[in-house]
Structures are given as C-alpha cells and as structure tokens.
Amino acid sequence: MALLDALPSPQMAWRQWRPNSVLVVLLSVMLVALWLFDVVSVSPNRIVSGQGAGLVEAMGWLGALLVSGVTITLMLLSLQPGRQNYQVALVGVCLLLLLMPFGLIVASDRLVSSDMPQARLNMGMAYWLMLSLLLLCWIELRLRLALPRRWTVLMLLGVALVWWLCAMWALEALALGQEFRARNDEFWRALRQHITLVSVSVAISIGLGLSLAMLMRRYANFQKVAFGVLNFLQTIPSIALFGLMLGPLAWLAAQWPLLSRLGVSGIGWAPALLALVAYSLLPMVRNTYIALEQVSPETLEAARGMGMRNSQRFWQVRLPLALPVLLEGIRITSVQAIGLTAVAALIGAGGLGAFIFQGLGQAAMDMVLLGALPILILALIADAGLGALSDILRPKNTVRPGDAQ
C-alpha cells in the first residue's frame, strides 16, 4: 500500500510530460494523412486524370516505415519538450523536408513505366498536407527555440534549392517540371514582370508613406482624413479596383499622346501599378507613423541638447530608431503586393498570375501550380528576409510582437 501511495497520480505524470499539443496535433494529422490519402498520382498524359497511389505503393514498405518512424519519433519528442528535444525535432523536420523530393524520385521509378513517354507524376493530397504541416512544425520549433528569422530564410532557400535540383535533373516525369520545361522562357519573363511590379509599387509606397506620415505628425486634421481615405481604399475588392483604373487611364492616354508612348493605357502595367500602390499605402503609412511616434521625447531632447538641428535629429536619431518598425511595414506591404500582383494578370499586366488564370481556364492544375508556387515562395522569402532584417536592427532589450517567450 505504501508503494502505491508513492507512485505519482496519472494527472501528476501527465503534467510532468508537458506535451507540446501543437506539434503532437500537426504530426498526428500528417501521419494519418500519409496512410489514408494518395501520396502521388500517375496520369498517362496531360488530359487524362491520374490514378492515385498510397504511401506503400509509391515508396515501398521500406520508405513508408522510414517516414512513419521519423514522424513517430518527432511525436515522442514532442511529448516531453525541452530545448534539446526541440533541437532534435528541428533536425528531423528539416530532414523530412529535404527527403520529400527524393520520395518523388522513388515513386517515379516505381510507378512511371518507360514505355509511357507522356506519363506525368502528380503530387497527391497527402504530399501537399505533409509539406504544409512540416512547415508549420518548423515555425513552431523556431519560436520555441527563439531562433532568429534568418534561419527561416536559410531553410527555405536550402529546401527550394534541393527541390529545384531534383525536379530539373531527376524528375523528368514530374508534371510540374514538365510544365516548367514547356514554358521556360515564359516563366522567367513572367517572374521578372512580377518582381518588377512588386518592387516598383513597394518603392513608391515607401516614399509616399514616409511623406504622408510626416504630414500626419504635423497636421492632426490631415491624419484623420488620410487614414479615412486609405481605409476606404482597402475595402474596395482588388478586381474592382483594377477595373476602376481602366476608364480614366484609357482617357488620359487618348488625351496625352506622350502617356500612350510611355505605355500608359487602360490595360497593362499602369493600372496595375496604381492599384498596387493604393493597396500598399495603408500598412505602409500606419507602420511609418507608429514608428516615428514611438521614439522617446527624452532621446530627441538629448539630441537637441547636443546641438543637432531638426533635420539632423530626424535623419540621425528618429529615423534610425524607427527603422525596425518601419521595416515591419515594408514586410507587410511586400507580402501583400506579391499576392495582389497575381490578380493584375487579368488586366494584361503579366506576372505569374497569368499561369494561374490560364491553368484555371484549361483545367490544368499543374499550370496553376507553376504560377502559384513561385508566388508562395517569394512571399515566404520576403516575409522571412525582411523580418530577419527588422530583428537585426531592433534593440536587444525589446521583443518582437508574436515571438514566443
């Protein structure tokens, strides 16, 4: 009886384990999805729908047990979390992300016959769920370990490089790779157009945002009017805003031949650029205004006591101290612009959105992915890169909102 009294109660034992419920749920869903849903599918050509294949059929028992064993190990590590277990789990997540394209190589070798030159290997629901859930696990582990966001940039670039090399050199049957090889020149031209539109719109937004924020600080009445207008612009649907630009720009191009020679018209880059700037202004102005206002008056008074003029205090004191928060505005604006630029393809502005809408029109999901995946990667890299730069410039004694303690 004394021995039973010495044993911990079930509630006490469970509290001692302190499981990470987020990781446990994500990994459990991933394990179930891998065994219940199709990992890949194989179609004889671009038109015919594919035949799905499960985990064992696609990778064999050895591959299926390897992936399941690593996933179960990660779940066990999540049941009693600690810094060391989190570090091991992070290595395991990265290992699975890097091995995923090699799993496609194994599936292609097992399922795609050499006498089917037009056969295409498609990634199934389980594969996409695994990729999404592993990225969520990475984010959770990065927050738990309080790693700088530059690690996310390095991880994304490393995984993207491995996937790219595998798709180009060892996955000839992969449907997404075939779509890319068939539209190689179009893809790079669309990528340049997309990045150019985003870069120019964000650059204009930075200049206008800084100017408007400085005017708001000087004139209180202007602040209310400006925020009201910017909030109103955000409520207009993106397609409607692109459409509203067609008529006025077409009229201006007809009235001013110089604008027409510069390429300004009712369709194309001009309405897309104006709409993107309009959407980007609110997050840019808001973050810039907050960044400039949060600089302590004591710091500015000390700069005044050192003999600095107003312009010197702004450029040498206020702006450098406000830069981390200002970069957060640039990060939000950039990610938003990367996504919205896809819609600009509807008015002839080009960009990666053209593949998305062409694929939807032809019911070719691989072409949709050819446009959607680069947009997703660009958004992730921009978010992680600008976030990492903001963290580097942030004073050491402050904590970025949203980071785990």
Residue spans of the domains in the chain: they are 17-112+119-147, 184-393
- Contact by Cβ (8 Å): 20, 77: no
Residue 42 phi, psi (nearest 5): -125, 125
At residue 35, the pLDDT reads 92
Residues 287 and 206: their CA atoms lie apart, in Å, by 11
Task: Give the three-class secondary structure for 183.
Answer: coil
Q: Which two tokens stand for residue 4?
A: 């039973």
At residue 310, the pLDDT reads 75
pTM of model > 0.75:
yes
At residue 405, the pLDDT reads 36
At residue 281, the pLDDT reads 87
At residue 165, the pLDDT reads 78
At residue 32, the pLDDT reads 93
- Contact by Cβ (8 Å): 360, 351: no
Strand partners, 226: none
At residue 164, the pLDDT reads 77
At residue 163, the pLDDT reads 77
At residue 258, the pLDDT reads 72
Q: Cα angle at 12 between 6 and 17, to 5 degrees?
A: 120
- For the segment(s) 184-393, the CATH number from 1.10.3720.10, 3.40.50.2020, 3.30.70.2700, 3.40.50.720 is 1.10.3720.10
Q: 24-51: b or e for each residue (b if 16 or more CB lie within 10 Å)?
A: bebbeebbebbeebbbbbbbeeeeeebe
pLDDT beneath 50: ranges in the chain: 1-8, 12-15, 399, 401-405
- Contact by Cβ (8 Å): 299, 306: no
CB atoms within 10 A of CB 219: 12
